[in-house]
Amino acid sequence: MSTSTAEYDSYLIENWDTETLINFLKEQDLKLEKKYYDILYKEKIDEPTFLDMTEKKFIKAGLKMGPAIKLVKEV
């Protein structure tokens, strides 16, 4: 079952866990490979952490520059 963006609006963004964040990002059609979502999961990037991320921090976590830039635009 897919969760729509409208359904995400009912959550307080600050309370999103890693899985909720990843599911939301997947719905944004960023065309990221699974391995980049796996890095977010491995590093336990939840919404409060995501909002504090920079391109440099994403790269340090193991993402390539392209995916890091895409994710920074989502921040």
Residue ranges of the chain with pLDDT lower than 70?
A: 1-14
Summarised one tens digit per residue, pLDDT across range 33-48 is 999 999 999 999 999 8
- Structural domain including 61 reads 5-74
Domain total of the chain: 1
- pLDDT value of residue 2: 47
Q: Which two tokens stand for residue 13?
A: 């963004």
Q: Which residues of 8-21 are buried (b: 16+ CB within 10 A; e: fewer)?
A: eeeeeeeebebebb
Distance CA 29, CA 53 (A): 20
**Cα–Cα distance list, 47 to 12, 19 (Å):** 10, 10
> What CATH number is given to the structural domain containing 46?
1.10.150.50
Residue found under tokens 């391109």: 55
